[in-house]
């Protein structure tokens, strides 16, 4: 029996641990159902349901994970987690309380602001402190952990999300689509402003198709409902999303994962946030930070004049899963 359990609860987490499972199908998995739609979450060894049982959804998730995972985690020696969600932080705490080794994928990302993004930045910092092994996507993220003097081992592996895109990278091109994804909590209060600016761009740049897969959150749907020139679609299965991403001209997003995937596929990405935890892309020219909706028209016009980029992706080369599994094998 495997000594190692890989835990995931959301779409991004599953997509980023999927290459590990493909590389080593014998690994055991626990699916904590924080997300239950949009994607096929595979055939997990174990699964648990989580419900919103109290006023604070995050506390409800923590409570249920701590109680429901105890017997499952107790039967393993090593627990692997990825990302910065409530599932990740609660699972790390449950494993730590049971004296299990925690292996943390995508460790070392930092905004150095606990309110931005909230709660993700706090979760990242907490988990790295109790992880036995930290798998960092870049040299900079590894240096962040060294600066913080974390006690666990540190390895630079690249980002596992890119392992899913090796074949897509070969056929990437620049078409007439502009791909939009906006969903972060920090943008919800001004999402209608972002949508209004993008709608104006769609009207004045009619040779391009502005495609927005709208997150199912009712607040997001409400914020974008009055746009007229954006093509709004339902959330896309990941392969359908990548098909658009690999052939689009420009990306407008607040997603961390899309920053990594877009850079790997040779796209310029306008990041609608005040800060990015992936600053390597700012240096290579893949990312352009757009801090307010008012800045978007000028930045977009600058990017659309020359959408191509030939610098290497700073987030890895698509071989992260093999590197991580090689290290995990030492503990089996």
- At 15-30, the pLDDT tens digits run 999 999 999 999 999 9
- Identify the helix (H) or strand (E) that includes residue 153: strand 153-156
Look up the pTM and report it.
0.94
Model confidence band, residue 38 (pLDDT cutoffs 50, 70, 90): low
Residues 6 or more apart in contact with residue 273 via CB below 8 angstroms: 184, 186, 187, 254, 289, 290, 291
Question: Which pLDDT value is given to residue 1?
Answer: 65
Question: Which pLDDT value is given to residue 332?
Answer: 83
pLDDT at 50 over 60: yes
Question: Which pLDDT value is given to residue 37?
Answer: 66
Question: Which pLDDT value is given to residue 39?
Answer: 63
- At 148-198, the pLDDT tens digits run 999 999 999 999 999 999 999 998 999 999 999 999 989 999 999 999 999
**Helices and strands: H and E segment counts in the chain:** 14, 13
- At 75-126, the pLDDT tens digits run 999 999 999 999 999 999 999 999 999 999 999 999 999 998 999 999 999 9
- At 135-148, the pLDDT tens digits run 999 999 999 999 99
- At 240-281, the pLDDT tens digits run 999 999 999 999 999 999 999 999 999 999 999 999 999 999
Share of the chain above pLDDT 90, in %: 88
3.30.450.270, 2.40.50.140, 3.40.50.2000, 3.40.190.10: which CATH number matches 166-304? 3.40.50.2000
- Report which of 83, 80, 71, 64 is spatially closest to residue 131, judged by C-alpha positions: 80
Q: Name the residue ranges covered by the structural domains of the chain.
A: 4-159+317-331, 166-304
Q: CB of 289 within 8 A of CB of 110?
A: no
Model confidence band, residue 303 (pLDDT cutoffs 50, 70, 90): very high
pLDDT at 36 over 80: no
Domain 4-159+317-331 has CATH 3.40.50.2000: yes
């Amino acid at each position: 029996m495997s000594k190692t359990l890989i835990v995931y609860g959301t779409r991004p987490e599953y997509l980023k641990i999927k290459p590990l499972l493909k590389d080593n199908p014998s690994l055991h998995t626990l699916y904590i159902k924080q997300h239950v739609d949009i994607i096929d979450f595979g055939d997990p060894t174990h699964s648990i349901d989580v419900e919103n049982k109290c006023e604070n959804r995050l506390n409800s998730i923590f409570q249920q994970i701590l109680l429901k995972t105890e017997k499952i985690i107790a039967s393993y020696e090593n627990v692997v987690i990825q990302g910065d969600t409530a599932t990740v932080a609660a699972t790390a705490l449950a494993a730590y309380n049971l004296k299990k080794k925690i292996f943390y994928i995508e460790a070392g990302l930092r905004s150095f602001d606990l309110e931005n993004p909230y709660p993700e930045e706090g979760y990242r910092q907490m988990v790295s402190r109790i992880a036995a092994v930290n798998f960092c996507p870049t040299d900079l993220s590894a240096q962040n952990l060294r600066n913080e003097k974390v006690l666990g081992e540190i390895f630079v592996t690249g980002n596992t999300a890119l392992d899913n895109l090796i074949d897509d990278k070969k056929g990437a091109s620049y078409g007439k689509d502009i791909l939009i994804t906006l969903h972060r909590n920090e943008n919800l209060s001004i999402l209608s402003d972002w949508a209004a600016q993008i709608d104006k761009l769609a009207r004045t740049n009619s040779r391009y198709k502005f495609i927005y897969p709208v997150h199912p959150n009712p607040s997001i749907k409400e914020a974008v409902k009055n746009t007229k020139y954006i093509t709004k679609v339902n959330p896309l299965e990941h392969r359908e999303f990548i098909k658009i991403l690999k052939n689009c001209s420009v990306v407008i997003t607040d997603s961390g994962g899309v920053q990594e995937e877009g850079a790997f596929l040779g796209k310029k990405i306008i990041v609608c946030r005040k800060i990015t935890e992936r600053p390597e892309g700012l240096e290579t020219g893949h990312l352009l930070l757009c801090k307010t909706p008012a800045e978007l028209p000028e930045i977009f016009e600058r990017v659309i004049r020359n959408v191509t980029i030939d610098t290497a992706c700073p987030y890895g080369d698509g071989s992260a899963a093999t590197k991580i599994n090689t290290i995990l094998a030492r503990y089996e």
